[in-house]
Amino acid sequence: MSSKDLNLRINQRRKSITNRELLIAANEGQQQEVQLLIKDGADVNFIDCDGNTALHYAVSNDKLEVVKYLLQLPAVEITHENNANATPLDLARERNVKPIVDLIEEQIWRNASQTISTYYPRHSKDNTSWSTKTSEVFMEATFAGNYLVPLQVDDVSNIVKFKYFKDN
């Protein structure tokens, strides 16, 4: 084995250890450790043998501050399903932890709004934001499984459903 191959294997092993340390830190709610590990190159979307990410671990253990931190990272995969077909939102709902459910739903709304604006730029008179009644109606209907499909925005609704919500 050449020294180049050996160095590659050592680096891969270090990366694997760093990623596993990230899962442990998220599980234990060690926000500063999570931040340092990600800064040092840990993969925020690293998946363990059960299909769980750091976000799954933080949600499963009610680690609100870690969840907040992870959700603000652009690379975090918020809708990843583990081997039991559970997303972080599913886990938060199962545990009935409203602050975490609210955070994840808000982030899904932001992501959906960003996706929509990519395909359908907003008009200057459109001031829709998270705090508007429209978004409350959207969230209530969407997360209850009753998708709203206003006739004039069928395409937008379909994009959001396809990208962010799994079929029931």
Instruction: Name, in order, each residue with C-beta under 8 angstroms of 35's C-beta and a sequence gap of 6 or more.
Output: 69
Domain containing residue 39: CATH number: 1.25.40.20
Range of the domain at 144: 3-164
Count Cα atoms within 13 angstroms, Cβ side, for 113.
17
Between 60 and 150, where is the model more confident? Answer: 60
pLDDT at residue 101 in the model: 94
Q: How many structural domains are present in the chain? A: 1
Between 31 and 167, where is the model more confident? Answer: 31
Mean pLDDT of 15-38: 94
Residue 21, pLDDT above cutoff 50: yes
Between 75 and 135, where is the model more confident? Answer: 75
Query: How does residue 130 score in pLDDT terms, banded at 50, 70 and 90?
Result: very low
Query: How does residue 99 score in pLDDT terms, banded at 50, 70 and 90?
Result: very high
What average pLDDT does the chain have?
78
Residue 128 phi, psi dihedral angles, 5° rounding: -60, 130
> What torsion, rounded to 10 degrees, do the Cα atoms 160, 161, 166, 168 define?
160
* Cα angle 28, 64, 44; round to 5: 65
The region of weakest confidence among 21-30, 54-63, 107-116 is: 107-116
CA distances from 63 to 10, 30, 46, 157 (A): 32, 9, 18, 32
- Residue 123 tokens read as 């008009």
Residues of the chain with pLDDT > 90: what percent?
Answer: 51
Tens-place pLDDT, residues 142-151: 454 444 433 3
Q: What is the pTM of this model?
A: 0.69
Contact indicator for 105, 141 with CB cutoff of 8 Å: no
